[in-house]
A and B are shown apart, each in its own frame.
Chain A
């Protein structure tokens, strides 16, 4: 049974549409949620949690419809939106003491263990915590109330490389027992190389892919060729491309690469896939 199942989620704003987004996440996995700024990642996460009212679509958590059973299901969810930006001038201990009252399965002992494990000083105020510590604090809260689904909006944004690595290691440790899953949005594609099992990619409010990371990467190749090889057929087959004086570099789906091609074909990484999907080939500077 999927921990999270999103079906046909749609939200219309005047200038933006989150259009028919569907994906699911099984227990014991990490899903990276990628897309450029304004692609709809945060809107999707907010719509899942009902912070934003979707126009249509359904969200199921642990097999139960979220909106019908919101109160109970929120006990199983830990959610962090854009860093832990709540009550910056409040002491961590005071905030926790208020927060824990809302959770039936709160384990104070476990919380104390997480504080010690994460080197979290609960006498500090929230704003005195570093960005990495804020993420760890959010995780400590979620784990202490027995959350099985953790949804984090850009948790690694603004972290130094060491803290980022620590947080990603922590993600792997959290899902290790196979009962919990993490969905996290990020713009740092190396985060996904390090720890994601699945990748969900959204562009301009539409789902591009939601696959196992290896399948996602395996579906694309970088192709390079000379000017003379940049034919109309190749241009049409390319997802996106860059032209140079010497030729072109582009992204192509594996199933559209012509058999026996003379083009140079190389593996694509997540960043390549994102860049070429979003790329519009035009001069960077008008002269």
Chain B
């Protein structure tokens, strides 16, 4: 059932051209930049799909199918998670390529090392925790959860990415351009992944409970 719903998400709810959004992860190839900004573009994909949901009357169509309401929510959550992981995966490949091409330190913000990807996971964790439950409180409610999720996650990412520039100890431990202080980098990545997993599971449960209470 969940498989069929995800298939519906990808075949009906997401225009095929929107896959191109994931290629924006290649912004990590820029030699010097505030790299966390590259992860914001995925929110536009979420917004576009949410907007077409309304035009397609998706919620009523889906609820009339022989599926549980909570599965409709889970299918959307998994779809967003799929986009996020695909985006991070492409970004990671681009980060490796960039490191080969320009091995020097990023002076604008954090280097694209393991710790940086920990902050990317944390950014998506915050976005999911705010956007996913918020978007199921009322039918086709999108703007405030999206804005809230995007702004808060970007603000947190901006703070975390700026810390190494202002606190030398943080820079030493977490901002090596390569694999220096790897255990610290991996620990930051693990924290990001754990936060992403926990926040997303919680967001999905909360969104399903919200959607149960919604009258369409």
* A94-B215 in contact given A86-B56, A87-B61, A102-B4 (Cβ < 8 Å): no
Q: For the complex, give the distance between the alpha carbons of A53 and B216 in Å.
A: 9
Q: Is the CB of A86 within 8 A of B60?
A: yes
List the interface of chain B (C-beta within 8 A of A). Answer: 1, 4, 7-8, 11-12, 55-58, 60-61, 63-68, 213, 215-216
A80-115 CB mask vs B (1 if < 8 Å, else 0) is 010001111010001101110111000000000000
Q: For the complex, give the distance between the alpha carbons of A171 and B43 in Å.
A: 46
Q: Is the CB of B67 within 8 A of A102?
A: yes
A-B contact count (CB 8 A): 61
Q: For the complex, give the distance between the alpha carbons of A95 and B61 in Å.
A: 11
Q: Which residue of B lies closest to A51 (CB)?
A: B216
Q: Is the CB of B56 within 8 A of A71?
A: no
A46-82 CB mask vs B (1 if < 8 Å, else 0) is 1001111100000000000000001110110001010
Q: Is the CB of A49 within 8 A of B64?
A: yes
List the interface of chain A (C-beta within 8 A of B). Answer: 46, 49-53, 70-72, 74-75, 79, 81, 85-88, 90, 94-95, 97-99, 101-103
Q: With both chains docked as a complex, state the minimum distance between the C-beta of B92 and any C-beta of chain A, in angstroms.
A: 32
Q: With both chains docked as a complex, state the minimum distance between the C-beta of A10 and any C-beta of chain B, in angstroms.
A: 14
Q: Is the CB of A95 within 8 A of B213?
A: no
Main secondary structure of the interface of B (DSSP, over half): helix
Q: Is the CB of B56 within 8 A of A74?
A: no
Closest 5 CB pairs of A and B: A74-B66, A86-B61, A51-B216, A101-B4, A52-B215
Q: Which residue of B lies closest to A90 (CB)?
A: B12
Q: Is the CB of A94 within 8 A of B66?
A: no
* A71-B68 in contact given A52-B216, A86-B56, A98-B7 (Cβ < 8 Å): yes
Other 16 A-B pairs with CB < 8 A, given A87-B58, A101-B7, A103-B66:
A51-B60, A51-B215, A51-B216, A53-B215, A71-B66, A74-B65, A81-B60, A85-B57, A87-B56, A87-B61, A90-B12, A94-B12, A97-B11, A99-B65, A101-B8, A102-B65
